[in-house]
Amino acid sequence: MSEDRSQFTLIIAPNASSRVRRFQIDYKLLYITCGAIAIVALLVILAIVRLARHEALNLEYLSAKAENERLKRENDAYQNSYSKLKGQISYIQDMSQELARKANMEEAREIDQQPGIGGPETITSLDRAADTLERDLRRISDRLRDNQLRIASIPTGLPVNGYVTDNFGIRHNPFSGEGRENHEGLDIAVDFGTPVTATADGIVIWAAPHGGYGNAVVIYHSNGITTRYGHLSKITVEAGQRVRRGDQVGNVGSTGRSTGPHVHYEVRENDQPVDPQRYIGPPRP
């Protein structure tokens, strides 16, 4: 170290045999150099921090932009679903009104008076509209089902496709040809053994021989209406069995008071025979 305190002497001796090198450095220059290095390092650190902050902000911006685009897509999908739901509710509302009219429902007037879908609806209002429509459709469905059951239990057509040899009402005695008697149904001539089918839904209340009817089946339908199928060669149902229109109940025969293979078919209202022609309607397939 030199005696001059304004300078700093640096001695370098790589090894014992090497030449000693001396360097004298001014303290001021050393301080300035160290200060410059410190300032540069600080500036570099500040630049790095600023760059890192900028990158962080850029990442936040890109993330926010991606999130905004996602929310926009979801909003567009929501708007499409919302519009579709409105259209479906409007369509169902129109259909429910039409079905209510077909079911001859008095409530159809109330359904017609319900407010339509339109204006600035919210999800809550659409939910209320959907709940109301669901109740209406259930009520309509119940009424239609009741109507279908009622219609299915009304006799329609004939139990066999054959030739009507005797109608309902007064006729000549078919055995002696003399005198007149009241015929309480229709006689339908057809080949022996032909399947005999129920003309409406109901419950079998008789399936056994029954006097002049021979082998007979009696079915209760609804509202006091029953049908009878007489002179069967074979009975294929039993009492208590539920049958549907078109189900086989027996086969054509000539049992009981009969002159040949045919079916005696009756319709009764509250156990009073009525003309089956009132219930025949359009021909059955």
Give bridge partners of residue 23 from the DSSP assignment. 10
Instruction: Report d(CA 99, CA 95) in Å as an integer.
Output: 6
pLDDT per residue as tens digits for the range 234-257: 999 999 999 999 999 999 999 998
Yes or no: say if 220 and 201 are a contact pair by the CB < 8 Å rule: no
Q: Tell me, what CATH number does 186's domain have?
A: 2.70.70.10
Please check the confidence at residue 191 and state whether its pLDDT lies above 50: yes
- SS3 (DSSP) at 133: helix
Q: What is the pLDDT of residue 35?
A: 85
Indicate the pLDDT class of residue 146, thresholds 50, 70 and 90: confident
Task: Please count the structural domains in the chain.
Answer: 1
Task: Tell whether 177 is covered by a domain.
Answer: yes
Q: What is the 3-state secondary structure (H, E, C) of 10-38?
A: EEECCCCCCCCEEEEEEHHHHHHHHHHHH
> For residue 116, is it within any domain?
no
Q: 73 burial class (0-12, 13-18, 19+ CB within 10 angstroms)?
A: exposed
Would you say residue 13 has pLDDT above 70?
Answer: no
Tell me which residue range forms the domain holding 217.
Answer: 163-280
Mean pLDDT rounded to a whole number for the chain: 80
238 within some domain: yes
